[in-house]
């Protein structure tokens, strides 16, 4: 995994500067996640829990297991209800918790994996989804038109893929996909296990 160190103290300022549509992305992830009223949720790259909080607010019956590779980001989590939340230090590249989960979600974390890493993760996500579960991916994509690039990409820590590549890998994992929302270099994909 790349060496970039997340700092929860500067995280929100960094988001506001580099991803001005982060609040809208969170809104769209929460809307896509809430459909179907999932009860068991796995959040990959939960960070300090900002998007997880939005999802749990929309789903008062749900419990969430969050995984992140940054101890600092996990330690900064202060708003998630401990009765409904478990946080674990872990990498997206490592074996996933067995589940099954009604919902697997990930916001702005999967683009840190390269193409084969994303395809591998999508297959492992499909394996831990319940039979009617869904994966909601909100992330950076490489837009078809370079004029739509908003977020600075260093191609070291950030290795986004195109929307089409990710839809292909999700289909290869056996999931039925639909683009819930896209704006410039951000997208929310719903991948359903039928």
Ligand X SMILES: C[S@@+](CC[C@H](N)C(=O)[O-])C[C@H]1O[C@@H](n2cnc3c(N)ncnc32)[C@H](O)[C@@H]1O
Residue 162 beta carbon to ligand X: minimum distance, rounded to whole angstroms: 19
Which of 138, 146, 119, 124 lies closest to 179 in space, CA to CA? 138
Interface with ligand X, residue 160, by CB under 6 A: no
Please list every residue from 43 through 82 that binds ligand X, using CB under 6 A: 45-47, 50-51, 68-70, 73
**CB closest to ligand X, residue no:** 47
CA dist 82 and 39 (Å) reads 15
Residue 194 beta carbon to ligand X: minimum distance, rounded to whole angstroms: 26
Tokens of 111: 């683009």
Interface with ligand X, residue 128, by CB under 6 A: no
Residue 46 beta carbon to ligand X: minimum distance, rounded to whole angstroms: 6
Interface with ligand X, residue 91, by CB under 6 A: yes
* Residues present in the chain in total: 194
Which of 51, 55, 50, 54 lies closest to 34 in space, CA to CA? 55
**Closer CB to ligand X, 84 or 91, in the complex:** 91
Residue 131 beta carbon to ligand X: minimum distance, rounded to whole angstroms: 26
The answer for residues whose C-beta is within 8 angstroms of residue 140's C-beta and 6 or more apart is 19, 108, 111, 151, 153, 158, 160, 185, 186
Which of 29, 66, 31, 73 lies closest to 46 in space, CA to CA? 66
**Interface residue with ligand X, options 41, 42, 96, 107 (CB under 6 A):** 107
**Closer CB to ligand X, 87 or 173, in the complex:** 87
Count, in order, helices (H) and strands (E) of the chain: 6, 7
Rule CB under 6 A: which residues touch ligand X?
A: 1, 6, 45-47, 50-51, 68-70, 73, 91-93, 107-109, 112
């Amino acid at each position: 995994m790349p060496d970039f160190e997340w700092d929860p103290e500067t995280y929100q300022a960094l988001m506001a500067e580099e991803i001005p549509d982060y609040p809208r992305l969170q809104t769209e992830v929460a809307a896509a996640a809430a459909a179907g009223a999932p009860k068991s949720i796995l959040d990959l790259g939960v960070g300090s829990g900002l998007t997880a909080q939005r999802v749990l607010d929309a789903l008062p019956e749900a419990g969430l297991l969050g995984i992140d590779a940054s101890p600092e980001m996990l330690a900064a989590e202060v708003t998630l209800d401990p009765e409904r939340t478990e946080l674990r230090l872990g990498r997206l590249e490592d074996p996933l918790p067995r589940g099954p989960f009604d919902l697997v979600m990930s916001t702005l974390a999967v683009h840190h994996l390269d193409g084969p890493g994303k395809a591998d993760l999508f297959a492992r996500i499909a394996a831990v989804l319940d039979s009617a579960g869904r994966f909601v991916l909100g992330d950076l994509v490489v837009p078809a038109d370079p004029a739509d690039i908003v977020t600075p990409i260093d191609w070291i820590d950030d290795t986004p893929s195109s929307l089409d590549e990710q839809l292909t890998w999700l289909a290869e994992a056996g999931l039925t996909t639909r683009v819930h929302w896209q704006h410039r270099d951000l997208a929310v994909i719903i991948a359903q296990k039928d």
